Amino acid sequence: MALRPEDFYHHAFAAADDAGRLPLARMTGWEISPFEPEGLRVAPLRRPVLPEPARNGEDPADCRACSAQNEGIWFDDRWRLSRIERVGVPLVLMLHPRDHHDLPDLPDDLAAELGVLTTHIARHIEALPHIARSHVYRIGDGGAHLHVWFFARPEGQAQLYGSWLVVWDDLLPEYPAAEADQDAATVVDSLLSSYGGRRTPAADS
């Protein structure tokens, strides 16, 4: 059984210094870290907050993802794909189910579709010129409506390997929108051929 919130806090706090700061993460010593360890310090560990604050969309009536049903670059009857703007890496896409679901309550038929659709999207991103890898993330701490991130890692940028990519994305200057739009359109064209769907939402959506 997982530790209770207070027990988890005390377990972690036992490794902290007098100011409640844990040692630097091992990841800060990796060559791909965007930060030099000297001068970097960890924020003090805070006590747990219970109950946790509600995420956006816990009530479907207030869900931003549900209200954006017709926004995106690719659609079918059950899914929509959008391009996230003002990012630092070449392309960031986000996949949502059209209906209000989070990952743990996703029906099995949609879960099966998610696996296949994720593979198609990642395959088409990695087929873009000068893109080495497609990173796929589901986090879910900010929104209750399932949203899956696809980050395109640029070829040859070894510092952008692995889990630091999302941090580098926030540090890099904004990637040229015209190039990102063109690559997103290429992914959509490929997705239409390999999986189906359409570029616009259905008229009755």
Domains of the chain: 1-52 (no CATH), 64-194 (3.30.428.10)
Render pLDDT for 18-58 as a digit per residue (tens, 0 to 9): 999 999 999 999 999 999 999 999 999 999 999 999 999 99
Residues 110-169: tens digit of each pLDDT: 999 999 999 999 999 999 999 999 999 999 999 999 999 999 999 999 999 999 999 999
Judged by DSSP in three states, 5 sits in: helix
Q: Are strands 131-137 and 148-154 parallel, antiparallel or unpaired?
A: antiparallel
What is the CA angle 165-125-201, rounded to 5?
Answer: 110
pLDDT at 165: 97
Contacts of 38 (CB under 8 A, 6+ apart): none
Which of 156, 159, 181 lies closest to 93, judged by CA? Answer: 181
Does this model's pTM top 0.85? My answer is: yes
| pLDDT score recorded for residue 202 | 77
Contact 61, 100 (CB under 8 A): no
Q: Answer whether the bond into residue 34 is a cis peptide, omega within 30°.
A: no
Q: Answer whether residue 204 shows pLDDT above 60.
A: no
Going 171 to 133 to 84 to 174, the CA torsion angle's sign is: positive
Per-residue pLDDT at 205: 47
**For the chain, how big is the Rg over CA atoms in Å?**
20
Q: Which residues pair with 149 in a beta bridge?
A: 94, 137
